[in-house]
Amino acid sequence: MMFKHSSFTLFSLVFISIPCLISAQACQNSCGKMPIRYPFGTGLGCGDPRFQKHVTCNQDKLTFTTHTGCYPVNNIDYTNQVIYISDPSMSTCACTQPSKGFGLDWDAPFSFHDDTVFTLLDCSTTSSPIYKTNSNSYNNGTVVPQCDRTGAPICSFLYSCQAISMLNLPISTCCVYTPVDLGPSFEMDLQKLQCSSYSGFYSFDGQEANPENWKYGIALKYKFNVYNDYPGSCADCERSNGVCGYGGAYNTFICNCPNGLNTTSDCFFGSSYNHGSSLLQWQTGNWVIYSSALFLVWALLCSV
């Protein structure tokens, strides 16, 4: 009886001595109800390292971060590579409020989608740099806004909204500010522009004359790399129910699998797995042989 107890203890020690390979999956394929795919991730070591600091998941909420603030992510169109965010300080047809503006970090792997339209509201026609005095001899002294002239109807529709019309602002204080005009720094500093607030939208939703139903927010494009190629290793990883990530000193690719293992290719057996800081070469045949050997040791010890 004592020997069997010792045998059980010995068998337990054999298993305890084996490195713990199974753990919870570090990278998730969703953040709350939002599906997460490459190049985005749910935490450090997940997705693409270039995107990790800009798009983060915290308490099941996906957030886009720049030097101007943190913004909720409303949706991600993975097919067309567009991320849609909202700015709580942005004015809409339902509410107008002061804002500091919006800007992208200079090193962010994002650019404004062509459908994104910014409208500056309540701008000073005397001190704002977007208004310049016409030096033409025929119209000397006339103030000319440096705005998108085709955006005049947009200003008319927005200023007809009840929340904005109650401010009794002249239509001349509105300026449609397209993304290309933000300049190389992608900056919209409302204090410098002498405007009190702004509105942004990316779709009329088929109702150009009804600003209440416009899609308010900001649409941003992103690219996987210079050639915009989806990494083949990441595609293989996701097909095997893994989540693409990175690790090591050089941020090399890893595939984080549902069983908690990190692999250099995919989550199907027969690949090399990386767990923690050590690289363990596990192949299907080797694992079966090793497991069988442990079972035989256990059976022999228990039979004594």
- Give tens-digit pLDDT for 199-240: 999 999 999 999 999 999 999 999 998 889 999 999 999 999
pLDDT of amino acid 125: 87
Listed by start position, the domains of the chain span 91-97+114-132+144-213
Q: Cis (ω within 30 of 0) for the bond into 19?
A: no
**Three-state secondary-structure class, residue 163:** helix
State pTM to two decimals.
0.77
- Give tens-digit pLDDT for 44-100: 999 999 999 999 999 999 999 999 999 999 999 999 999 999 999 999 999 999 999
> Of 84, 15, 97, nearest to 222 (Cα)?
84
Question: Which ranges of the chain would DSSP assign to H, the alpha helix?
Answer: 2-17, 49-52, 152-159, 162-165, 190-193, 232-239, 284-303
Strand partners, 99: none
